Amino acid sequence: MRCTLQEVLKSRTAQERWGNTVKFQRSLKEEVSVNLTPLIDVIFLLLIFFMVTTTFSRNTNILINLPEASGEAIEQQPFEIEILIAQNGTYSVNGRQLVNSQMETLMRVVAEVSVGDNSIPMIITADANTTHQSVVTAMDAVAQLGFTSLNIATREPDSNNE
């Protein structure tokens, strides 16, 4: 295949006109940055989540000695305060019946009997059929008064009920 000079010149002008390379438009480089707003939002949400779901526990500083039911009788202390809780939830302190079953009344009588001495041993004796709330109320009253020695009295089970 032979080409004439005019054909060669024509082809050269076409090459020069369009060029023999493809020109791509250069893209503008965006500045790289980290958007902190969503990160801060997530941190605040986590903080609120943990604040709401955290359980706050209040530790009590009361020592509870639970005597075993099959053990021997404990030696009597020279002076002790005994709180008796009847089946209906009424309280007696050292044999003295209280006028009502409110915790404030129980606290007032225990404070009178103890004369401010928080080291006196405390014994709670409750009927087997009394409500759990009555026992917890008595324990709470004793703890609020600052007593640290608390015993819960039990009795030895009958031999025919075993």
Residue 158 confidence (pLDDT): 60
Do the Cβ atoms of 122 and 142 come closer than 8 Å?
yes
Tokens of 102: 């409110």
Q: Is the four-CA dihedral 91, 96, 100, 105 of positive or negative sign?
A: negative
Radius of gyration of the chain (CA): 44
Do the Cβ atoms of 93 and 81 come closer than 8 Å?
yes
Residue 162 confidence (pLDDT): 46
What is the CA 29 to chain-centroid distance, rounded?
52
Which residues is 123 bridged to in the sheet? 82, 151
Tell me how far apart the alpha carbons of residues 83 and 86 are, in angstroms, rounded to a whole number.
10
Q: Give me the helices (H) in 20-149, please.
A: 37-53, 103-114, 132-144
Confidence label for 148 from pLDDT (cuts 50, 70 and 90): confident
Tokens of 83: 């709180």
More confident residue, 31 or 63: 31
- Strand 149-152 with 122-126, pairing: parallel
Confidence label for 40 from pLDDT (cuts 50, 70 and 90): very high
Mean pLDDT of 71-88: 74
Tokens of 59: 């530790």
More confident residue, 72 or 89: 89
Residue extents of the structural domains in the chain: 63-152
Report which of 122, 128, 141, 121 is spatially closest to residue 86, judged by C-alpha positions: 128
Residues 6 or more apart whose CB falls under 8 angstroms from that of 68 comprise 154
CATH for the 63-152 domain, from 3.30.56.10, 3.30.70.240, 3.40.50.300, 3.30.420.270: 3.30.420.270
Residue 39 confidence (pLDDT): 92
